[in-house]
Chain A
Amino acid sequence: MAAPSGQQADRQHSDDPAATSPPTDRRPTGRAAELGLLVFAAALVTAALVIVELNQNRALSWHLAAYGGAYLLALAAAHLLVRRFAPYADPVLLPVAALLNGLGLVMIYRLDLAAAASAVNRGEDPPAAQATLQLVWTAVALVLFLLVLVIIRDHRSLASYAYTLAAAGIVFLAVPALLPARFSQVNGAQIWIRIPGLFSIQPAEFAKIALIIFAAAFLVTKRGVLSTAGKRFLGLTLPRVRDLGPLVVALLLALAVLVRGNDLGTSLLLFGTLLTMVYLASGRVSWLIIGLLGFAAGAALAYRLFAHVRVRVNIWLHPFDDPLGSGYQLVQSLFGLGTGGMFGTGLGAGRPDIVPFASTDFITAALGEELGLVGLTAILLLYLVLATRGLRTALAVKDPFGSLLAGGLAFAIALQVFVIVGGVTRLIPLTGLTTPFLSYGGSSLLANWIILALLVRISDSARRPPVAPVPADRPRASLTEAHTELVPVTGERTDRTRPAGRTDTPADSGTTDTERAGS
């Protein structure tokens, strides 16, 4: 392409041939803001670590600064790669996730200290440190985040693997059910793939992402039918079941596997997310009503069938009936939150380790005890920021697949936080889910960083300024000469030899006043 030599200087920074004229209204990419927030997040995490050490009366050393510096370096590396591979990505997503992950690491480290101290008091060996392992998982998760960004250069390419992903997700999900309990069972839930001594992963976390991608791709193809076809009944437009066949089959298979493995939290999360995506795609309230009725029926059935569901509901309704037995965990969590009060006991100065599973399911109770209502609200606001930025991306992105995918992923994060924080604070019955980014657990961390990478990728495409228009001085062929391959849609047509795409009618013959197709 021959460009005037005067513009040569302008375009030397750009290898995009379409950008012959530098766009004047290019909006800021937000990378500077992202870097600032990342430095802030690393500083906050380092401060949290220092405060824990102070409160635990441990000697301050430069090791702490080294930890903070290493975290900052890892984040800076992530930032540089985002700058390279997703330059227009949303500037808030990465720092918020980094801060949540860092706060989780500090809290897990703090619970490690408490567990070691109580083991020493009892004269036992201190248990293995969870924080070290979580640190390794964080590093792996960051690498995975970057890998997803580098490999998936355009999120729309995911849509072509929809059915593959759905099948792989369900098979992966079903692996623990097929393995012997020794390799798959932890605390009564058969949802793990364990390789003793090496690692254990929870396939549901990854299957969830695969199913959300599948649902987005599937719903995009059915969107038109979903929002138009159907019978009307009692003021509601009833959907046709056949339009949703594959999605319903995939969802029922996944739910069957999850319920069999006693993982009700993930089934609730998956069901809620896919239902919301159907609503996002069709915009019809009837789907929501049908879904919620189905959920109510499923919940009633689960209550009748499973003893542990009845126990959970009973603890939720009457936690103080058996405060030292079945209600112990929830009661201690409530006491912890009460002890924290408005401003908390200070990081490292409370007793969050009294709550069983404080580092996984009950990490928000631990944070609530040590940071108080004020701190816990800030953390919940961080999740709100994450979810709204995801939904904002869903609104801004131009392709319907990306829009549904971003909406589904953002809603999944929000719903997961609601289910687990609601459970811990006794708003709803407790179901075992991790708190995204905060909780101890490799699978959850990896899966959430993958979700974040997908959101960053989609937000990059949503915020990317439109490609500069074709220069006006280029000779423009008239529309009718544009070459396109046309295929007859009806099978019985035989005259394929007619010149396709050629319309001989002059463009202005359409001004006769025949109103043939009235609206």
Chain B
Amino acid sequence: MEATDLSAPQRVAASSAAERARLRVDVESAARLLAPMWPLESFIAVNPLMGLLELRFEGAVREASRWLPLTGYPSPAFMKAAYGEGRVTDADLAAVLAERHLDADQTLPALRAWLEHPEGAVGPSPGAAGELADRRRALTTYLATDAQLAAFCATFADEGASGWALGDRSGGLYHCWRAVAALDPLLRCRLRRRAARAVAALPADPEDALLEALVRLGVPAEHRVEELRRQLTRLPGWASYARWREEWAGPDCTSPPLGVLDLLAVRMSYEALLFDPTGTAPGSAPVPAEGGGPWAGIWLEAYERHYRDDILGRLSAGRGIQRDAQPEAQIVFCIDARSERLRRCLEALGPYATFGFAGFFGFPVAVAGLGDRYGTARCPVLISPRAIVRERPAPGRARAAVSHLRSRARAAAAHNAWHVAKIAPGAAFPLAEALGWWLWPAAGLRTVWPRLSRHSAPPTVLDPGAAGGLALDERILFAENALVTMGLVRDFSPLVVLCGHRGRTAANPHASALDCGACAGAPGGPSARLAAAALNEPAVRAALVERGIRVPDDTWFVAAEHNTTTDDVTILDWHLVPARHGARLAQLTSDLAEAGRRCAAERGPSLPGAPAVRDARVAVAHVARRAADWAQIRPEWGLARNAAFVVGPRSLTSGIHLEGRVFLHSYEPDLDPDGLVLESILTGPLVVAQWISAQYYFSSVAPEVFGAGDKTLHNPVGGIGVLCGEGRDLRVGLPWQSVAVGNRLYHEPMRLLTIVQAPLGRLDIVIARNTVLGQLVDGQWLHLVAESGDGTGWHTRRAGSWWPWEPAMSCGEVARWNWKA
């Protein structure tokens, strides 16, 4: 007999409002362990442990490993391979040990012995045999509860992917569940005829239900947060999605309201209903894995140190490359690491100067495309959009726009017709028979001859100042911010190109992971168009003159978009460019095309399955085909192998081969005496880059917990996320194929290395007055290296103070480790 006697006086009579308020806080404390998960239409890379930032890196990993099966460090096998290849050397280890004041001779053998250590088994300590029978039954209940809850979440959170969905979900998950829980086979099987009564006796309010369940399960108040955390980490995927929905989605979000407290209320109601007071639940907190320990951290630091020495050596050696006196065009790229290659190739082709700035170009708006029902945010998730800008047809092209909208509506209607016919009784059978003859040859063609369909859209205008958009003073403010942050306040060339970026793939649920993260997982083209339109406005230019930024009258801002999968750059809104820039723009376009070809040739061979030939034309054709191929599981590497974030002028990194692994943000230290620009860069783009780096790190190091699993097993659910294989929990993070090939990691799991060119005192002030920076830097979430630019060399920041940087090995032998395809 398993459920408690329902008439027992354990019910909470009417929980007071104070109790509820405290419960809310406890739930949030428990949920802090998990990072929010954005729906896949706008995938955002987040630091999976972002809620534990104040615990420092080791502390956060240790805390997380109490609840989730992760070690948080690269495995011994991985380090052994790296050691064998020379990617980590004894010199690196010795340097790290010296920093930590450990004796190298004594600890090196222990470090080497750790390499032979097998992967730590993670799990609860095995108990006595007598407990096992109860634990087995409790385990079965646990797993079955997980399964039922996950299935209900998948149905609740569905945004129109299924034919027959739940109706009114505004009451929340708990309310919907309670209405149908009496029919749950798990409850009926265990409670038999008492199921309906037991469910009806549950409170109507999720907060009351949670409180009552906690009481019934006998959870003392001081262990409440722990118990809630334990419950949440049984289904980390859905809990992460619930966290996003509650905290980050915004008040006008139309997704079903799946909240964390509701999730916990349902989960604990299941447990309370199925609770057997004579048995024991697999209760105590799990023992942390043995695979960690201090050695893993030391190996990781040595691994990172090797890369740091390498890149700082390259930066020091490459000093002295001067920019052209007056470039023909200045091109502003997103800080994305994939832009580094294109910038390098472009600068080698002609008198061009490139800058790096976050891909939304400083304009926090939401954009609604032509015919879209609602707008999507196009700014980093750390800020909220100020206005919605709607795309409108270009003047004189209204007819084309109308016919485009009509055809889109027709397509939507036909699509809907197909969906209805799929579920109408009896209609699905002839539908399958009729469509099969047509779909399979199309599929065969698509497999053998991939070709992306070209959506021809009519020309449109994206005007930030249109009705409902930004006011003039806002446009002036954002324009000024953008130019000042970049350091582009004088010496404008005749053409300034703002280049956003996007990826283009076929049949890829994680497609938005390849788009611009600074535009909230959307293509960067519309942001570039907006910014260019605002900067070309005479009123804005006049106001900028008043603020000290004199843009010459014949300078024109042009918008462009870089397709990172095929490495070609498209100029947008060509029809708006004045004729006097025609020749220059044509020259720039052909140079961009050539630079793109060189990029494709450079990165092509690292893609698995690419032909080994280094011919540019073959490489370009191959990447184009890869982008269009629906069977291709790895159309591009995206941000894999990202390693560092550089804040400084282009002269610091110009001409140096950084392998496309570095985020580059422009910054002119001389123009920023009070450190405000530095502060805005370090608290904005740096935090986003740290999130990206941490996401890749944890998806490589803990793929079962923080990674999305094998992409071939992915099963898109509800239009918001993916399930993997037979599992029912949403998967967070990046798929395995985005960071590895076969069993071998392609991404190098390291914490972000931040390189800044600014006076050290200024950095100290900025870090001191921003708590988040203090936590990131001094908590070892990233490594900070800076130089003042006055010849004193690089300094690393450790334990709150600056130490001069010395390479671990002698100058002549900076070892390079290239990933072999």
Same assembly: no
Residues of A within 8 A of B (CB): none
B interface, CB within 8 angstroms of A? none
